[in-house]
Structure 1
Amino acid sequence: MASGGITAHAVRINAGEDLVSSMKKAAMSAMERSGTSSAFVMTAVGSLECVTLRMSNHTKEDGSSCNDIKEWKQRLEIISLVGTFDPEGFHLHMSVSDKNGNVFGGHLMAGTIFTTLEIVIGAIKNVNFSRLHDPATGFKELAVHPK
């Protein structure tokens, strides 16, 4: 465990912009300005015209597991957006709702802003994030290091 002071970096991402690359750019700027390699989503509101989410441990009809990827090509409201950024990548989860109030969520893969994304990125001073292979999960997982 490591801790440090938090700085908040607010940004508005405009209509038509790529969701993931814009957030990564904002997070990299926040880390650079704060002199750290750790960032996270403090809050986010906005809307999308499309989004791609990965479902975790979806079960196929034959009973085997996979991680299905689903895409919605419609206007959606962002209900929640959480996750972490490091210089090598990110881990973000998102929930969105459609025009009828149905909510969908999963691991964020891609998206395009419809009207706006108002996001506040937090950066933790004196803490560095990286991703290391975890043999227990088979994935690169978050590693937290005091600076």
Structure 2
Amino acid sequence: MSRKQYSLRRTYIGRLPEGADLLESITRICKEENIRIGKITAIGAVKKAVIAFYDQVEKKYHNLELDQEMEIVSCIGNVSVLNGQPFVHCHIALADNQGKCFGGHLMMGTEIFACELIIEEFEGEPLERVYDEKSGLSLWHPASILME
């Protein structure tokens, strides 16, 4: 097994516009800049959110709609390639006005109040996502497995 090594190529730092969809905005930037391998981090707040939990038995996502103002405690993800296009995969942790946290897979429908975003693009061979029969997910190609 060989392990791939990557180095930092470019870093994008900026603010996303109020009212925009968080996942859609990140995805648009990655497609416009042709970012095919990278890391995403974001902080800020949302007006409402849609997050999901992946049911490992049913092999499908279940959405949770949070129709309230919340702080982005953490948003972290990656960029790889699915069907020849940049694909953004992010998880998000959100806190309500009582400090209660909710977390899961970031979905379309998460409306930005304020968001500061960093995208680190890496130099190196992009990671391709392929369908994994066992999990029911499109995961990084088996050649990217670090340990067996």
Per the normalisation by structure 2, the TM-score is 0.80
> Take 1:58 and 1:2, find their aligned partners in 2: how far apart are those partners?
28
Which position in structure 2 is the counterpart of 1:99?
A: 97
> In structure 2, do the counterparts of structure 1 residues 58 and 37 end up closer, same or farther at CA, with 3 Å as the change threshold?
closer
- Name the Cα RMSD after superposition: 2.3
Moved more, 8-17 or 84-93: 84-93
Q: Does 1:5 align with 2:7?
A: yes
1:38: how far off? 0.6
Aligned with 1:56 (options 48, 54, 57):
54
CA contact (8 A) 2:16 2:115 kept: yes
> In structure 2, do the counterparts of structure 1 residues 16 and 136 end up closer, same or farther at CA, with 3 Å as the change threshold?
same
Output aligned runs, 1:28-107, within 5 Å.
28-30=31-33, 32=34, 37-41=36-40, 43-57=41-55, 67-86=61-80, 87-107=85-105
Which position in structure 1 is the counterpart of 2:23?
A: 20
Helix, strand or coil for the counterpart of 1:10?
strand
Q: How many residues are aligned here?
A: 135
Helix, strand or coil for the counterpart of 2:127?
strand
Per the normalisation by structure 1, the TM-score is 0.80
> Take 1:44 and 1:112, find their aligned partners in 2: how far apart are those partners?
14
Q: Give ranges in structure 2 of 5+ residues lacking alignment.
A: none
Q: Give ranges in structure 1 of 5+ residues lacking alignment.
A: none
Identity rate, percent: 23
Which position in structure 1 is the counterpart of 2:106?
A: 108
> Take 2:32 and 2:5, find their aligned partners in 1: how far apart are those partners?
20
> Take 1:48 and 1:88, find their aligned partners in 2: how far apart are those partners?
24
